[in-house]
Each structure stands twice: as structure tokens, then as C-alpha cells.
Amino acid sequence: MTKANPARKISKPVLGFFVLLVLVGVVTFFVQLAGKHPEKAWQAYHINFLLWSAVAQGGLLFSIVMHLVGASWSQPMQRLAESFAAFFPFSFVLFILLFLGREYLFPWLHLEHGKDFWLSLPFLFSRDLVGLLLLYGLGLAYLYYVLRIELEPGETQGKLRDFLLRGKTGSEEEALGYKKKITVLSVLYILAYALVLTLISFDLVMSMEPHWFSTLFGAYAFAKAFYLGLAALMILSALFYLGRSGELSLSSSHFHDLGKLLFAFCLVWADFFYVQLVVIWYGNISEETTYVIQRVMLLPWRQLAWTVMIVGFVIPFFILLNRKVKSKPVPMIILCTAVISVLWLEHLLLLGPAWNHNVATLPLGPTDFLITLGFLGLMAFSVASFLRLFPEFTPKRMS
């Protein structure tokens, strides 16, 4: 039997508010673009593209991993995790538009770096475009079969739902075939997730300092994306729980279990950060140490580095040790909002010194905040629209 989901209660005024946030971000972007420092608009755009795309990629990964391991405890959160995939088409278009700001984003464009073949803009954008197309295609194919197995034949509530139900018979053999496809697509998505996020992190983050490299940077990037996805899923689950969404059957034990995963990937993210730092320290190679010294020891980036470490790791570490806190939605909303915010700043820490040389203060202003609000609105609109359209959840794929 299909369960009703309170996502149906997401009203049009709420969606309208999210659209308003998007408009605020778009207007701010173009106003900044027309001003004296258009590079600041593109830099904020670049950081937000990376952050919110990682949230969507990591959010869907939760559903995929839970399916593969057969984790029945996660069933009430499955549809919420899958809703993040609604941002994939927007992320893909946003990446294409990123090409327009290439002159402001890639400091190596007019420099001698000895990597002319790899750091060629047509090649860079082509390979990243193919990678994102593969990753998002696998994610949306997974979602297609999940929805096809859960929606009931005979329902006619829009063209998209009709498309998903087209030709479905509802037989057990058909359902078994869908489950096998879901499992295969899950494995392929995980492989693509690791490879594509590694590629994106190399091309859109690490390449900004073309003489610096780290073989751990890819693992650091996709662990961080899952950390972001878990934090976003915790916020979304808590909001539905506080809205008395009884049909989802969420309880304090679900928050405790998700909190343990969040705690684990808080440690994984910090571990990759530490491992990179230690290897660079004892290697003592000038190209590597310069990168770290600039971001960890020199002003104004030193304070930002400490903020990222304390808010992104130290505070969550000690808070998430407490069982009771992990089970309470309001403290978890506050904590996870802080984690997502500080990982925005972590992107600035990685990218900012390459864009802003010899600055006395951090290059942060109202423009960054307002453009971030626009991206937040786009993510919220994507998730809310998906949950309005597909509010049902029946755990048939795990039965």
C-alpha cells in the first residue's frame, strides 16, 4: 500500500518563496557582473556550483548505499535522499554556463605551467561535461527505476508520472527485473561518483594552483561530498519530523543512526585533510608547502583555516559523541547548517588565494551571501518540487 507523504503539504507559496530566493541570487549576480569587479560574481558562482552539486551528489549516494547494503532502518529517509537528484539537471546547466566565466576563474589561462595538454579549456570542459553527464545519467536512471517500481499503475497525475508508468504491468517478474537494474545502476553510480568527483576536484579546484598537486585530493573531495549530503539529508529529515510528518515514520532512532553516519564522515573528511597535510609536511617540497603555508599560516587565510577546522570537525566531533544530541532534530539542524556553511568557507579557503593575491582581508561580502541564497533557493525548489510530485514511498525495492 502506498503511503501518503506530507510532502503534499508543500504549498505553492513555499515554492514561490524559493523562486524569490533564486531571483535574488540571479539579480545580485548580474548586478555584480555589470560592476567594477565581475570576477567576484563568477567566483561566488563557482564556489556555489561546487558546493550544491556536491550536496545533491552526496544526498543521492545515501539512498544508493542504503539500497546496496539492505539497510531497512533508512527506509523513511529514502525518498528524501532521492529528492536531491532533482538538482542534477540544474547542476548540469550551471556547469555549462561556468564556461562563460572562464577568464575570471582559471588563473593559469595566460601562464606557463607545463601542462598545456591537460589544462586546455576545451579539453577540460569536454571531459568534465562527459563525466557529469555519465554521473547524472546513472543517478537519474536509478531514480527512474525506483519510481517505476514504487508508483502504482493507473495513476494519472501529470505527464512525468504518466511517462514513468508507461507500459508498467505491475507483475512480480517485472518488479524483480527493476530491482536487478536498480542494483546494477547503484554500483555503477558509486564508481562514477568516485571517478567523476575526483576529476571535477582536480579540474575545478586543484588546477587553480597548476604547480600544486595531491593524489589524495580526489578522495578528499568525494568524502566531503558525502559529508555534505548527509548534513543536508539530516536537515531535510528533521524539518519533516518537526512538521509532524507521521506518515514517514521518522523517530529519534533514525536521527541517531543518521547522526552516527554523519559522525563517521566528519572523521573521514578530517582524516583526509590531515593525511594530505602530514604528507606535504614531511615531504617538504616547495611547490607543495607553499600551497599549505599560504592557506594555513598566512593572513588573512589563517583565521579561515582555523574556523573551517573548528566548526567543520572539532565542534561536530564533540557534539556527535553525545547520543541524546544526535536524536534531537533541532540541535541537528543547527549543527548541520553550520557544517554546510563552513564547507562553503572551505571551498573559499581552497580557491580564494589563487584568485585573490596580496589581500589584507577575506574577500567576502554581501554579494557572496546573496548569490549563495540564490543557489540555496534553487536547491530547495528542486527538492520541494520533486517531493510534491512524488510524495509516495513504498519500500518495495527492499522487499
Sequential DSSP letters for 105-136: H-GGGGS--S-TTTS-HHHHHHHHHHHHHHHH
Q: pLDDT at position 6, please?
A: 45
Q: How many CB atoms within 10 Å of residue 295?
A: 18
Q: pLDDT at position 348, please?
A: 94
Q: pLDDT at position 203, please?
A: 92
What is d(CA 236, CA 253) in angstroms, rounded to the nearest whole number? Answer: 16
Q: pLDDT at position 376, please?
A: 97
Phi, psi angles (nearest 5°) of residue 393: -145, 120
Q: What is the DSSP letter of 244?
A: T
pTM of the model: 0.91
Q: pLDDT at position 357, please?
A: 81
Q: To which H or E segment does residue 188 belong?
A: helix 172-204
Q: What share of the chain is helix, strand, coil (3-state, %, to 5)?
A: 80, 0, 20
pLDDT tens over the chain, length 399 residues: 344 444 456 778 888 999 999 999 999 999 999 988 999 999 999 999 999 999 999 999 999 999 999 888 888 888 899 999 999 999 999 999 999 999 999 988 877 777 778 888 999 999 999 999 999 999 999 999 898 888 776 655 667 777 777 767 667 787 788 889 999 999 999 999 999 999 999 999 999 988 888 888 888 999 999 999 999 999 999 998 887 654 567 788 888 899 999 999 999 998 888 887 788 777 777 777 888 888 888 888 999 999 999 999 999 999 999 888 988 889 999 999 999 999 999 999 999 898 988 888 888 899 999 999 999 999 999 999 998 888 766 555 555
What is d(CA 113, CA 336) in angstroms, rounded to the nearest whole number? Answer: 39
- Prior bond to 300 cis, omega within 30? yes
CA dihedral 394, 17, 89, 6 (to 10 degrees): 0
